[in-house]
Amino acid sequence: MATPFLSSEEYDERAHQLYSEGQYDEALDVLREGLSLYPNSVELHIGVGYARLAREEYAWARRAFEEALVLEPEHEDALAGLGETLLKLGQRDAALRCMKRTLELGYADDIDLMLQIGRALFREGEITEARDYFEAAMRHAPDSAEVVSCVGYVEHRLGDDEAALATLRKALQHDAEYHEARIYLANVLYDRGDYEAALYHLEQTKPEDHWDELAIWRLLEMKRSLFSLPEGDPELKPWEERLVELGGEMDDIDEMLAEIEGKVAEELEQQRGTALGQLELFGALLADLAAHRGDDAGTTTEHAITTHEGKQFAGTWEQIVQRMRESNGNGARSLHEYMIAEARRGFSLTGVRIPTNDAEAFIRGSADAGLLRIVR
């Protein structure tokens, strides 16, 4: 029921509150009601655009942002929203033009806007472009832990881990309670094999600080291995409960992966203490057999990949994964455990699920996620 006594600003406020709570359908209803009374409200059109964007209704989102820009051609929020939508639609050049226009209009000192645009670019893999907006924000807010940490994320994704570690530590000097930076720092340290430092930082966080499963899995793994804590230990219970909360209801694929991981973990537990589990021996036999077949047929089975850090690996699919594992300092872990851990890390960075059922699927999935490039 329409409430004509509300102003367009009040409708926008109500919708924004619902949007912040993740109630996108309800927010959209409020915005539609507001637009029925105030059809020329730029803010309400922009609100519709962001609600549609959150619902992944990109064509409708584009229309809403374009309607806002008809009413006010240089509105910075509409330009940013349209740019993000065009990225989703694969129209990169047009998207970058919209976003760049905010800089041309002098909004580099709008920290929230710069972070919003930078994060949108970062999520879509436009890391170099994202850096421009994060650095613009840092010029105006050099003491903001959130801003500084975003620069650190970019440095890590561009392969400069030393700079990333220094920047993330600097962010925590500005605000030791900024847990997003601390969790990211812990994951970078873990990937470098610095497990004690990684665990130190993760222990400075609480379960409710985490919105991604990867770091919690790693904390549990390190707690169990370093302190021999058994399953169900009271110290681990809050973290295990948070994992359940984050996992939510599993779809068919999640259930299948969980079942596979469970079976593999069971086998690995039974075979722990041996230098190589049967899975790895079986993989080595397959690789050896494939090599012999390649020799007999007069063809090569060798492949090659390049990671986004510039590292190069060649060999069979299994050999490449083994060498990746050894390069990351994870030589003591089984191949399948390594693929599972890396798949989780990849998902946290890109949102792309990487299969772990075999080495070839893992590498091709990692390539699809943009984490490496298959040379041959």
**Of 220, 242, 264, which residue sits at a domain end?**
242
| Residue 91 belongs to some domain of the structure | no
**Of 202, 222, 242, which residue sits at a domain end?**
242
Residues 275 and 237 in one domain: no
User: CA 42 → CA 12, 77, 101, 282, distances in Å?
Assistant: 10, 10, 18, 63
| Residue 167 belongs to some domain of the structure | yes
| Residue 72 belongs to some domain of the structure | no
**Of 199, 215, 242, which residue sits at a domain end?**
242
Residues 43, 41: Cα–Cα separation, whole Å? 5
Residues 261 and 365 in one domain: yes
Burial class from Cβ neighbours inside 10 Å (0-12, 13-18, 19+) for residue 245 reads exposed
Residues 152 and 192 in one domain: yes
| Residue 83 belongs to some domain of the structure | no
Residues 352 and 285 in one domain: yes
- CATH number of the CATH domain containing 166: 1.25.40.10
Instruction: List per-block mean pLDDT (blocks of 10 residues) for the chain, which spans 376 residues.
Output: 73 94 94 96 97 95 97 97 97 97 97 97 95 97 97 96 96 96 96 92 96 91 84 87 74 51 49 46 49 49 80 89 78 71 74 81 86 85
Query: For residue 333, what pLDDT is reported?
Result: 60
- Full residue range of the structural domain in which residue 228 is found: 142-242
Query: For residue 247, what pLDDT is reported?
Result: 74
Query: For residue 260, what pLDDT is reported?
Result: 53
Query: For residue 280, what pLDDT is reported?
Result: 46
Query: For residue 284, what pLDDT is reported?
Result: 46
Residues 221 and 262 in one domain: no
Amino acid at 307: T
pTM of the model: 0.66
Residues 269 and 227 in one domain: no
Residues 225 and 313 in one domain: no
Residues 281 and 236 in one domain: no
Residues 303, 374: Cα–Cα separation, whole Å? 8
Burial string for 80-99 (b: 16+ CB within 10 Å, else e) reads bbbbbbbbbeeeeeebbebb
Structural domains counted in the chain:
2
Residue position matching structure tokens 């220094």:
166
